[in-house]
A and B are shown apart, each in its own frame.
Chain A
């Protein structure tokens, strides 16, 4: 790249990339997230003087990644390419993909990646109550679709 701020950007990228990438996995699946993350980080590089001053750059770049991946009409893909010894409900990936976008992002980030409700709210730029509502509705819909009972 050769720009004087390259080192600073690289450090930013190392810090931000894992969280941004996981958020975009929740939005568009493993396949789409790789490209969307690269697009968002490329945008960050292109607009680095402004991005570096943002209060919540991950939230902003998440929106950028969303925006630049919206042309894809295919539903998100949650089937892991590698085999796993863990047994899960077979229809879960497909049912997750069928959830409305914000419900899916909330449930994957909170229950899949261990984010707090507050962190998801900051990412999406919404109130924590809204995230909790998305979570409740998502789990309700998943349980209904998968016909599983709650185990508490």
Chain B
């Protein structure tokens, strides 16, 4: 049997017939027709002065759209300010602790992590893991940037036995249009919001090799192992070889408590916190809260205009939540580059050992 990746490569090898200018001409004709329908109620209006008419209408529309976007920004800021007064959030203006405090806090977090019991399901038992993830995604596209954004969220649940068999369930929630995005949505012509995908709920196998197999509990060795992983992990651009990938991997390791708990020992988790402590730019924020409002230690690092913050339970050193915020949109690429703000958050439920693939409370 060939390897899965070889099969994927084989499936997509070969030439694809390119889209030619003629294809675009056809599509453009359709596009122009649709566009025209938006501005003229009757086909009889197709006249020689149509072009000027259309341009005037478009100019007016752009002015209106600009005003609406400005209003959306004002509403967004107002909403954020109002919501921050009602609900505590990770405070972006909290002064970073000094390096010494960062080291001290992360050393304490590492010590707590090292003395935690390793969760191992016995015969007939499963490790249950649940987390929710929310993304901020474009809902529609304007001429230069997305017209409005929506939140989409997924809830993941996993039941993993000691031999790697189990169940995975993913429930996709309907897209949510925040009040701040209503003006953009109206401007876009009240388009239908994307439908959620059908839920995924199937028996699965978690037996494949994890990239985190065989990691060391010694911080210096672990750092070298993570750097080596960064080189191997399908990363070929020079940009991705930056040291930013090491804290990324450390965070992934710390979040991989579910199905990989049997190979990531408490000592490795402790070492991952120490790797973060010795990484330039990592800071801690006392009294941080995750998106579910749970308090904990905030651990933050910034790279490529993005800020990632973990919130860790101080009593167990398990990861409660993770937020990804664009703080410098100029360093971002793609249509989303103009939007600073919280783009993704995750909320984790602490893993527990349960007695079946339908149970969600401790065995």
Chain B residues near A151: list those with CB within 8 A: 2-4
| A45 nearest CB neighbor, chain B only | B28
Most buried by A among B1, B4, B18, B138: B4
User: What are the 9 A-B residue pairs with the smallest beta carbon separation, nearest first?
Assistant: A125-B334, A112-B12, A59-B334, A42-B27, A118-B237, A151-B3, A42-B28, A38-B27, A144-B204
User: Are B333 and A89 in contact, with the CB atoms below 8 A?
Assistant: no
B336 close to chain A: CB less than 8 A: yes
Quote the shortest CB–CB distance from B328 to chain A (angstroms): 13
User: Are B337 and A63 in contact, with the CB atoms below 8 A?
Assistant: no
**For residues 216 through 244 of chain B, which have their beta carbon under 8 Å from a beta carbon of chain A?**
233-237, 239-240
- Count A interface residues, CB 8 Å: 81
Give A residues with C-beta under 8 Å from B.
Answer: 1, 10, 13, 17-18, 21-22, 25, 30, 33-35, 37-39, 41-43, 45-47, 50, 55-56, 59-60, 63-64, 67, 70, 78, 80, 82, 84, 86-89, 92-93, 96, 100-101, 107-108, 110-114, 116-119, 121-125, 127-130, 132-133, 135-136, 139-152
User: Are A88 and B144 in contact, with the CB atoms below 8 A?
Assistant: no
User: Are B19 and A41 in contact, with the CB atoms below 8 A?
Assistant: yes
**Which of B205-213, B274-282, B311-319 makes up part of the contact surface?**
B205-213
User: Are B9 and A38 in contact, with the CB atoms below 8 A?
Assistant: no
- Count B interface residues, CB 8 Å: 68
Further 6 A-B residue pairs, CB within 8 A, beyond A56-B335, A82-B14: A56-B334, A86-B13, A88-B7, A140-B204, A145-B204, A151-B2
A-B contact pairs, 9 of them (CB 8 A): A38-B24, A41-B27, A63-B146, A87-B2, A119-B237, A125-B333, A135-B234, A142-B4, A143-B205
Which of B146, B202, B208, B245 sits near A139, CB closer than 8 Å?
B208
Give B residues with C-beta under 8 Å from A.
Answer: 1-5, 7-14, 16-19, 21, 23-28, 30-32, 35, 138, 140-141, 143-144, 146, 168, 170, 194, 197, 200, 202, 204-209, 211, 233-237, 239-240, 245, 248, 251-252, 304, 306, 324, 332-337, 344
Quote the shortest CB–CB distance from B260 to chain A (angstroms): 11
Q: Given the complex of chains A and B, what is the CA–CA distance between A62 and B234 in angstroms?
A: 22
Looking at chain A's contact residues, the main secondary structure is helix
Chain A residues near B168: list those with CB within 8 A: 141, 144
User: Are A35 and B4 in contact, with the CB atoms below 8 A?
Assistant: no
Looking at chain B's contact residues, the main secondary structure is mixed
User: Are A70 and B194 in contact, with the CB atoms below 8 A?
Assistant: yes
Q: Given the complex of chains A and B, what is the CA–CA distance between A88 and B299 in angstroms?
A: 45
User: Are B333 and A56 in contact, with the CB atoms below 8 A?
Assistant: yes
Q: Given the complex of chains A and B, what is the CA–CA distance between A83 and B23 in angstroms?
A: 25
| A142 nearest CB neighbor, chain B only | B4
Q: Given the complex of chains A and B, what is the CA–CA distance between A44 and B3 in angstroms?
A: 39
Quote the shortest CB–CB distance from A45 to chain B (angstroms): 6
Which of A42, A60, A78, A143 sits near B31, CB closer than 8 Å?
A42
User: Given A18-B18, A111-B5, A132-B233, are A78 and B194 neighbors across the interface (CB < 8 Å)?
Assistant: no
Most buried by B among A89, A107, A133: A89
Chain A residues near B248: list those with CB within 8 A: 128-129
| A1 nearest CB neighbor, chain B only | B25
